[in-house]
Every structure is written in structure tokens, then in C-alpha cells.
Structure 1
Amino acid sequence: MPTALQLRLGRQLTVLREEVGLTWEQAAAHLGVHPGTVRRLELGQAGKPKAMAVRTLLELYRVPGEEVAGFMEQVKQANTAEWWNEFRDVLPEGFGSFVSLEGAASLIRAYEPHSIPALLQTEDYARALFRTDHPAASDKELDRRVELVLERQRQALTGRAAPPTLWVVMDERALRWSYGGAAVMGPQIERLIADVERPNVQLQIQRHAAGAYSAKQGPFTLFRFVTAPELPDYVYVDNLTGGEYLQQRTSPYLESLDRMSAAAVPLKHTQEFLRDIHQRKWAQPEVSKMHEVSESGNTNGEVA
């Protein structure tokens, strides 16, 4: 899966080619390459785009000279090493594309049934979550994974001049499952209470009492690019073996998010709901491991 910059450049080249009525084969003949090379370039699958090839195509597509410079700047950016390359040691395979989409999207909508979304996690919560998911990891590896989460937050939310709207529907269980006990969960809930004050953060809770959920699958994320209309919506579906990126079958996921949002706690009541969870569950002395096991059958179960 390519980066957001490669996808955008490829889509723009597709539009330009179609506007002048040329086929992949004709464009490829002009470049002296196989048609598959042009196709991969347009799909963002050619790796780092070659500046000379792009410039030649722009001339073929009769792009005005004053616009060529803008395209070539995009080529330069697409060829620049992304910030997450320094986290290759802990970045899951194929997840660099997710981080790229996350940092470029204008709207991020997500369903999260199991844990607090990474973009809203405290440092201590992220560490406790990773320690649970990777029990054999060294302290150094855990530190690196936490650093990646914090940098994702900066790149996608706090460090952008125009941050995206983040709209998440969470399962109530994610607020009740104990990662690190009250000493971790209390500040994490407090962080969420503060985050929903931000105009670009919309958090809704799917209550147990709401009954059957419209999303029976695991977590997924939808990315929309208002400032890059060339790009379609993308959906990332998380699973145990990694994840899947969808471009053409995103409508069911958007509809599912809409149904869950309609059934969830209204946005105006989210803070009240979070404060109630915090007061009744996490503003108390840390519950014992024995109690957690007795209530859930595992060490990270729901605290009653």
C-alpha cells in the first residue's frame, strides 16, 4: 500500500491522462516503457516516482508550464523519506500506509471496540496496552512502541496547522477494561474528558444497553480527504494478521458508522458519560488482580 502523497500524485496523473483521451498503452509508448509501469505509477504502486518520467507525462498531457512546478514539488515530497521510517523496528508490516493516510486525512472516522484509540491514548495507557499485547517485549521495545504512538498523535492531530476531524465510536467495554489499573485508567479517562472539548474531536460511546451493534467485525478506520478531492475514501480493517485496505468497498463501513453513531450516546452527553465511568470505576483505589479475574476471567477484563 503506497503513501498518501504517492496516491494523490497517481490519481492526478490518471485524471490528466483521461482528460486528453490517452490510454495507458499510448502514454507508455511515449515513455518507452511497459503499460504496466504507467498503471502502477497511477495507482501509487511504482515506489518512488521518477521525476523525469512524470515531467515527460505532464508535457504529453499538455499541462501548462506554470503548473508543472507544482507537480514536480509533489514528486519531490513523494520521494522524501517519511518520518515513520525511523520506527521501522516497531512499525507493523504495511502499517506505514495507515500512518500516512492518518497524517493526510481531513476526516478520520473509526469504530474501536477493544481499546482507547491510539490518537487519544495517554503515554501510560499505551505502555500498559502494549505490555499486554506483547508480554515478551523488552522495556526498550515498549519504549519505542510508545514513542511511535505519541509521534502519531503529534503528526496527525496536535502538530498540524489544520488538524482533521476525529470522530470515533467506542464500545463501552474499552472504558471498563483495566490496563494498568486505576492509576492508568483514571488519567486516561480524564484525558478523554479533556479531548472532547477540542472542536475537532468527536467521541461517542456505544453502551451495553444499546443491544446488538451494527458493526459485528473488529475495529476499522475510514479516511476522507476533503483537501485532496482526487483521493477517494479509504478504509482500513484491522485483524489479527495485520489489516486490509479498501478503496472500492467503503460504503458499507460508512453506513455502519452512521448507524452506530445514531445509536450511541449523543455527542453532547459524552463528557457526562465519561465522568460517570471515571467516578464509579476509576476514581477509586486500584482494584485487586483477584477481583479483576473473578469478574472477567482474565487479567484485563471488565471491572464491574
Structure 2
Amino acid sequence: MERVPAVRRRRLGEELRRLRDLAGLTSGEAATLAGWHQSKVSRIETGRSSVRAEDVTVLLDVYRVHDLAVRDLLGTLAGKGYQRGWWHDFRDVLPVEYRDFITLETGAARARSMENTVVPGLLQTPDYARALTADVMPQLDRRELDALVDVRLARQAVLRQDSPLELWAVLDEAVLRRGVGGREVMAAQLRKLEEAAELPQVRLQVLPFAAGGHMGVTNSFVIFSFPRIADLDVVVVDHLTGSLYVDRKEDITAYTAAFTRLHARALPREESAAMIAGIRDELSG
């Protein structure tokens, strides 16, 4: 993993200081309980130096923070390459970046997604997920393919939990017309999108070809926002060989503004649902 960016270090430090205050400890007391010098706690809280995920774990133990979602999220922000969760059983087939993505997705309160190529993983059917994964990664053997499809489907639990993830997805029309898996697979996938669009926690819009060129055609991206931790949005940008994690405040602002412009150009929810249904009818006819 690359060195943790300075902005993320500062945000991580601010959150650790907040948790220390909630625990009723001074920085000196926290350092004593952790077996450190006070200056180490100070450097971590001000973001002046990098912090290891192991050090974050020590502090969270000292502060008696037991919420696994918070622990995993802060571990990710510290540059931790692996956070234990339900995906632990799939660690042999999941790249580090994908594990980090799942951790962020699991801990997020809201995700704003611009997709210009494929259906978002949280809304894919099993057949679509299998066909897509097999096409994109033909080198996989059957066991690896099955595991990655299982992971894709397991991720969707965030939309069904007690406090579900709020998903706002803008889909380029190309997503709906790309024939992943053939006509029957795509027809079923579009039906699932219609059903998902009716969920209160999902907002789905289509950006039609008629809208012309737009900033979303260059890269798909997701903006994650988190509960309990203010000012901690993270953008994940897809590219050819992986994902780029963006957390500089000015970049977050730019991507947020881009998403605002994209959803303003997209069809309203009702018209989007009608377009999805129309394309599905074409495939089923």
C-alpha cells in the first residue's frame, strides 16, 4: 500500500483525538496506557507523521472502541491493507484494493456512483456478475470465478441491513445496452434495476446518449460518505489496472460538483425507470 496521504492522516488524527476526548483521557494518559511517549500521540493526532494500522488498533483498544465498522474504517485510513470482515474467507482471491473498497463500502452511510460501463456491483444479478467477471478476467479458474461472484453478491447486503447504505447511482445509457451475458441475462438484469429503483434507499438515474459528451465518460467513480466521522468523504476512481483513492479536500469538492452536474443532466427517476423498462422490452421481444 502507498503512504497514507497527508489529508487523510490529518482526518484520521482528528477522529482519534475525538475518540480520546470521548474516553475522558488526556494525550499523556493515552500514551501511558499505550506504552508510548506523549509526543507519539501528539504526532498522530496532528497528522504530522504516518501512523501504522497497528498503532490505530492500540489506541482504539485504549479508548475502548469496539464498533467493528469504525475500527475497520480507521484501519483503512491508516493504510491497512486488510481488514477482517465477512470477506476474510475470500482473502486468497481478493486483491488488496478490492478488500479496501469493500471495507469503505461496508462502513459508508451513502454512496454516490457514476457508472459509464457496467451495472454497479451492488445492483448486479448473479448471472450478470458471473458473465461480466468471466469476460473481464478470463484467466480465472472455476473456483476463483465462483468466489468473486459470491463476493459481489455478498456485498449487496449493505442495501438490506437495518441502516442500509443510501445508493445514488447515475448510469450512462451504455450500461443498459451493453450485452453482458446475452439478451436473457441483460433482460433479467434490467428487471433487477427496475426493482432496485423502487427501494427507498436507492436513487437511480440514466444519462442518455442524447445528453452528449460528459465528464463521466472518462472514468467511473464512487463517492463514499460515512456516519459518525464528519468531513471524511473518499472518492474511488476506476482505471485500467485498479482503483485510485482520492481524499484531498479540493478533489473531493471537484468530484462532488461533477456528480451534481451529472445527475442534473440525467433523466429524472421516473423517466429513467421508463427507459430501463423500454430497453428491457426490446430485449424480451
Both structures adopt the same fold (TM-score exceeding 0.5): yes
- Report the residue type matching 1:221 in the other structure: V
Partner residue, 2:244: 244
> Are 1:39 and 2:53 counterparts?
no
1:234, 1:18 → 2: CA distance?
25
Tell me how far 1:146 sits from its aligned partner. Answer: 0.4
Q: What whole-Å deviation, never above 9, does each CA across 1:8-67 have from its counterpart, x for those lacking one? A: 9754223467999x999x9699823873995299799522447665566xxxxxxxxxxx
1:139, 1:75 → 2: CA distance?
32
Percent pairwise identity: 31
Partner of residue 149 from structure 1, selected from 144, 149, 152: 152
1:205, 1:274 → 2: CA distance?
8
| Larger-Rg structure | 1
2:39, 2:274 → 1: CA distance?
60
1:276, 1:53 → 2: CA distance?
54
Partner residue, 1:188: 189
Tell me how far 1:182 sits from its aligned partner. Answer: 1.0
2:155, 2:236 → 1: CA distance?
16
| TM value normalised by structure 2 | 0.79
Aligned pairs for 1:1-304 (under 5 A) are: 11-15=14-18, 31-32=36-37, 35=40, 39=44, 45-49=51-55, 53=59, 71-74=64-67, 78=71, 81-154=84-157, 156-158=158-160, 160-225=161-226, 227-230=227-230, 232-248=232-248, 249-280=251-282, 282-284=283-285
Change over 3 Å in CA distance of 1:231–1:30 after alignment to 2: farther
Tell me how far 1:104 sits from its aligned partner. Answer: 1.4
> Would you say the 8 A contact 1:110–1:167 is kept in 2?
yes
- Report the residue type matching 2:164 in the other structure: P
> Would you say the 8 A contact 2:246–2:252 is kept in 1?
yes
2:162, 2:274 → 1: CA distance?
30
Q: What whole-Å deviation, never above 9, does each CA across 1:127-164 have from its counterpart, x for those lacking one? A: 0000110112212211111000011111x212x10102
- Report the residue type matching 1:90 in the other structure: V
Partner residue, 2:78: none
1:76, 1:269 → 2: CA distance?
36
Change over 3 Å in CA distance of 1:75–1:125 after alignment to 2: closer
Structure 2: tracts of 5 or more residues without a match: 73-82
1:14, 1:169 → 2: CA distance?
36
**Aligned-residue CA RMSD in angstroms?**
3.6
Change over 3 Å in CA distance of 1:37–1:134 after alignment to 2: farther
- Report the residue type matching 1:255 in the other structure: A
Tell me how far 1:93 sits from its aligned partner. Answer: 2.4
> Would you say the 8 A contact 2:12–2:45 is kept in 1?
no
Aligned residues: 262
> Would you say the 8 A contact 1:222–1:254 is kept in 2?
yes
> Would you say the 8 A contact 1:51–1:72 is kept in 2?
no
Q: What whole-Å deviation, never above 9, does each CA across 1:229-287 have from its counterpart, x for those lacking one? A: 3351110111112111111221111111110100011112221111111112x113xxx
| TM value normalised by structure 1 | 0.74
Tell me how far 1:74 sits from its aligned partner. Answer: 4.0
